[in-house]
Structure 1
Amino acid sequence: MKKSILAVILLTFVKVTFAQYDPKALEILDAMSKKYKSIPAFEANISYTLTNETEKINEEFKGKITVKGDKYKLVLPEQEVINNGATLWTYLPEAKEVNIDNYDPNSDDLNPSKFYEIYKKGFKYLFLEEKTEGGVLCEVVDLVPEKKDAQYFKVRMNIAKKDKSIQSWTMFDKGGNKYKYSITKFTPSPSVSDGMFTFDPKKYPGVEVIDLR
């Protein structure tokens, strides 16, 4: 009896260990990544939800992201984040200020312009199940950071089984917060200029520029 219990424990341990780099999850993620890498630029309308059951938090916002290569512009109700691949601007309309910093790609695991590639470095991955979301059959994959001190302990991705497009992703932090981003509209290959990914203070009279570089 003791031997059979020990065997079950060992078998469970082996399954969990190898599931950390699940080949089925990798196949899904690679197909998803290939899809987005083939698109030179895209725009997406995003629904953003923050929930915390313990703190009774349930907030929802809508935003828009435009991506072109390594560049992106993320517009949310209370801020705009602009990145041209070298410089990062965070504009706060209510405060009438913009913070400028150098962009370090190595310190930004969750860069919104590279959300389809984050699994390739510093993450374990596991296929969970197939689940219908918004009428779309999705393959659910969990990404778990290899670093124990990472800001988020898990990222859950819902990827459409048919065309490998991302329907949503949810980030879980250690404080019990869940940040869910759902793509409500996707426009591939829009016409966007590089100037869109630079913040020009002259266009915002009265804005305070805080240069942190």
Structure 2
Amino acid sequence: MKKIVLLLSLMVSSPFALAQNSAKAKTLLDDVYNKVKSYDNIFVDFKYVLDNKEANINQETRGDVTLQGDKYLFNSFGAQQLFDGKKVYTIVPENEEITIEEKSEDENAITPSKMLTFYKEGHNYEWDVLQNVQGRKIQYVKLTPIDTNSEIKSVLLGIDVETKHIYKLIQTGDNGTTTTITVNSFKTDQPLSKTLFTFNEQKYKDEGYYIIRN
């Protein structure tokens, strides 16, 4: 009889505990989202690592992104990407080439402008481990895409408990590829040039760049 009571108790408490953890995770993510949205602009310097042991692939680089609303200036892999609110400009100095495209209509695409807010929709949330990183408490939340056809298996989002800023993102794909982004520097409300998100086409033409329009 005692075993039956214990079993029934576990059956009732388990879903309740899971629901509590999910609600706790969502509350923390809402705090992060509201904090991000409260800033006029954000500058993030980060380390990027892509790893797939089965395919023997390991890439590591650093990059940075400046965000203001939907606009962004993104630097990584020796290239620069600018979004002025209407068009995306990808500038590759090594090839002296620029590609100009319309904004992606794919709502599920994680663009630089969404890198700090992508988790707001389309995921189930789960409270995960708490780590101490050089005196900082980093709470992880596990995100699982609601879309069963997603190429992303899961995302672990590490959040600084005190500042409510994202510290680390670990994305695991269905193909076994792990992408890790670690924030080295997070600055907010910096003085920005009025032309930072303006593409100067004539300047690049004068420098001999080849411009492709898609």
Same fold (TM over 0.5): yes
Which residue of structure 2 aligns with residue 210 of structure 1?
212
| Percent pairwise identity | 26
Shift of 1:103: 0.7
Distance in 2 (alpha carbons) for counterparts of 1:124 and 1:153 = 12
Which residue of structure 1 aligns with residue 76 of structure 2?
76
Distance in 2 (alpha carbons) for counterparts of 1:105 and 1:193 = 28
Retained in 2: the 8 A contact 1:20–1:126? Answer: no
Distance in 1 (alpha carbons) for counterparts of 2:53 and 2:134 = 23
Which residue of structure 1 aligns with residue 167 of structure 2?
167
After TM superposition, the score normalised by the length of structure 1 is 0.85
Which residue of structure 2 aligns with residue 102 of structure 1?
102
Retained in 1: the 8 A contact 2:21–2:127? Answer: no
Retained in 2: the 8 A contact 1:201–1:207? Answer: no
After TM superposition, the score normalised by the length of structure 2 is 0.84
Which residue of structure 2 aligns with residue 42 of structure 1?
42
Local SS of the residue matching 1:154: strand
Aligned partner letter, 2:212: I
Local SS of the residue matching 2:31: helix
Distance in 1 (alpha carbons) for counterparts of 2:31 and 2:89 = 32
Structure 1 residues 198 and 27, CA gap change in structure 2 (3 angstroms) = same
Larger Rg: 2
Local SS of the residue matching 2:34: helix
Retained in 2: the 8 A contact 1:86–1:104? Answer: no
Retained in 2: the 8 A contact 1:155–1:172? Answer: yes
Aligned partner letter, 2:131: K
Shift of 1:194: 4.7
Cα RMSD, aligned residues only: 2.7
Local SS of the residue matching 2:82: strand
Distance in 2 (alpha carbons) for counterparts of 1:116 and 1:43 = 11
Structure 1 residues 181 and 194, CA gap change in structure 2 (3 angstroms) = farther
Aligned residues between the structures: 207
Gaps of 5+ in 1: none
Distance in 2 (alpha carbons) for counterparts of 1:115 and 1:44 = 10
Shift of 1:120: 2.1
Distance in 1 (alpha carbons) for counterparts of 2:45 and 2:27 = 27
Structure 1 residues 151 and 209, CA gap change in structure 2 (3 angstroms) = farther
